[in-house]
Amino acid sequence: METVNRVEYRVRDLNTRSVILFPKQAQVVREMTAINLKPGTNEVTVIGLSPTIEQDSIKVESNGSSAIITNIAVKSSPNPDIFEEIYPELGRHQPDCDGDNESESDSDSNSGQEQSPEVSDVQRRLREIRDELEMATESVDSATSCLELLESYATAQREYCSAPYLGEEVETYESLRHQLFVERVKREKVRSGLREQLDKLQRQQVKEKAKEQKAKKEVRQEREQKKSLKRKRDQERHEEQGRVRRERENFWPRYCYSVCITIEYDCNTQLSFRSISETDTMQASSPMSTEADTVAPSSICDLALSYVTSCAGWAPIYDLQLSTTDSTAILFFNAKLINTTSETWSNCKVVLSSATQALFGGLDNVTPTLKTWKIKLSPKGSSDKQNQLLTDLAKSRQYIDWMAFKKSNIVNKPRGEMFMNADLHNSALGEFEESLIAETGSATSYDLPDLKTLLPRSTSSKHRMARLTLPDVKFSYIAVAKYRAGANLKATIMNTSKNAFLQGPVGLTLDGRFLGHTVLPHCSAGCVFSLDLGVDPAIKMIYGEPAIREAEGASVQKERYNYLYSRTLTLQNNQALAGKPVPILVRDQIPVSEDDRLTVKVEKDWDKATATCKEDGEVNWHVTLDAYVVEHWDS
């Protein structure tokens, strides 16, 4: 029976050659090098592929001289790895520091029993003085006893001797008494001196003990602070370990894919490059062969496995800084890289591709759009035709539709961003290495410099792609006073770079003031795009109430009614755009009749502004408004 040479790899041990990130997918190329093939059937198994891969996208290529890939089998199975074995530092039952705490408590108790050298020296001297004082007291008592004995002897001699002391006896008594008294006085002085030394040492002992207690208290407080700081650090360490564990558990697969690649090797046949595609992934590291080495001739083969996975991708993020003083813009192009699979792609080349770019949401506070204003006559018999016309003007359905559109056009974060917690804050404007950008067909690719490592994480990483200076930015205003008494500032920018701008969120800054986030539209090289910057409070606008009066030519008998409708619009430029004249497009409309019996005619021209009237009744005024100038238009 033919033996099968089996080699097994773990996907985490495989080298990652390259990763191509698409907006919502990633194409990964793994490589296995120096696979030892033996004549006959060889099975190379890769274990631990992410459950997010698309099985039909797997492709395996071989550069073996005589290796033929005959089959690729993919199966799903529970994750064979154990979390605690892969991440032993994140185990739930970490050994605590009880031993250290016990040793610290023992050291604290021992240190509490230890005395300072000063106190020990005082106590030693006290013991010596007490011993000397006791000896001095004994010496004084001995001298006192000798005097008492001499006095008793002399008294006894007077009582029991018939002859009194005379001559030598008196001198001897006096001499002995004097000697004993002098000796006693000397010894008393020594004892008094020792008592003074004892009192002094006792006072010194009290002071030294007070100093010692104060020092011990300071040491205890310092130890308590250290213990408190250590407990705080331990708590922070445990919390950080818990956070990291929860983060890694989010990307720990319950099941994974394994790929079994069957390779036939004939040592007598030399074949060229072979490839096969199907459904699964690979791995490259230290292979584990289940067959013993034999003396049969072998061949070295390299395999490259490519596959597509979801839960990974990239998205463009922009920062646009506009200046009204020199009419320029600086665009910072950033890329948000996302990997929420269970795989880590280490030290690999990363390429960003704009193919199948996802669409983003709308923009709040956009310039209103005027729809055709349609009116018609009321049925015969209805009263107060003038009020009916006014009601139709005031309660125009267009206003209701536009307000509904305004509320529904709020930019919301995509679901992916809510779960990825993307960082959109401003980054430092320091030195950075720009990416290599290439445009092929309808897609644009960006080669990131250096080798990158993409770890699975819930937050995205941000990479600076390019910094572009866009000159000749045109600022203009659009005012639709019928719906809002304000003028929207609009920036028109030309893409002077060689590559297209992809649609993505952009942070807007105007003259150093951050305005917020909006969406940068897709713009090819050499094309123009516009951004609405919101309402500029420097442009004041008053949209007067309509005045309707009956005009000449009316005939009640012929049921002919003529009404003159007029409205005044007042604009004022309060130093908008640094006090320079600003172009303003004022948009309004006149009603369009849907009834043959009702006609609408323009009665007079509109002052000195350039005006055009469209077929749907929209009227556009092109106005250049100087600073601190008030203009009036009647319609």
What's the pLDDT at 454?
93
What's the pLDDT at 600?
78
Please tell me what DSSP assigns to residue 620.
E
* Residue whose structure tokens are 């007029």: 566
Q: What Cα–Cα distance (Å) separates residue 501 from each residue in 498, 518, 520, 527?
A: 10, 15, 8, 10
* Residue whose structure tokens are 């060689």: 498
What's the pLDDT at 553?
60
* Residue whose structure tokens are 């989010």: 250
148 CB contacts (<8 Å, ≥6 apart)?
A: none
What's the pLDDT at 274?
43
d(CA 250, CA 265): 41
124 CB contacts (<8 Å, ≥6 apart)?
A: none
Q: Largest Cα–Cα distance of the chain, in whole Å?
A: 186
What's the pLDDT at 129?
82
Question: Facing residues of 446 across strands?
Answer: 352, 437
Q: What Cα–Cα distance (Å) separates residue 254 from each residue in 8, 14, 91, 259, 461?
A: 20, 21, 18, 17, 26
Residue 633 DSSP SS3? strand
Please tell me what DSSP assigns to residue 486.
S
Low-confidence stretches of the chain (pLDDT < 50) are: 97, 271-296, 357-363, 385-386, 389-391, 393-395, 406-435, 438, 440, 557
Measuring CA to CA, which residue among 365, 366, 369, 367 is closest to residue 589? 369
d(CA 220, CA 224): 6
Q: What Cα–Cα distance (Å) separates residue 458 from each residue in 249, 311, 342?
A: 11, 11, 11
Residue 419 φ then ψ, to 5°:
-90, -25
Where do the domains of the chain lie, and which CATH numbers do they carry? 5-79+254-310 (no CATH), 103-250 (1.10.287), 369-408+537-635 (no CATH)
d(CA 335, CA 317): 6
d(CA 506, CA 317): 6
CB of 530 within 8 A of CB of 492? yes
d(CA 491, CA 468): 17
What's the pLDDT at 230?
94
What's the pLDDT at 431?
35
CB of 122 within 8 A of CB of 176? no
414 CB contacts (<8 Å, ≥6 apart)?
A: 358, 360, 361
What is the DSSP annotation of 544-567? Answer: PPPEEEEPTT-BTTTTB--EEEE-
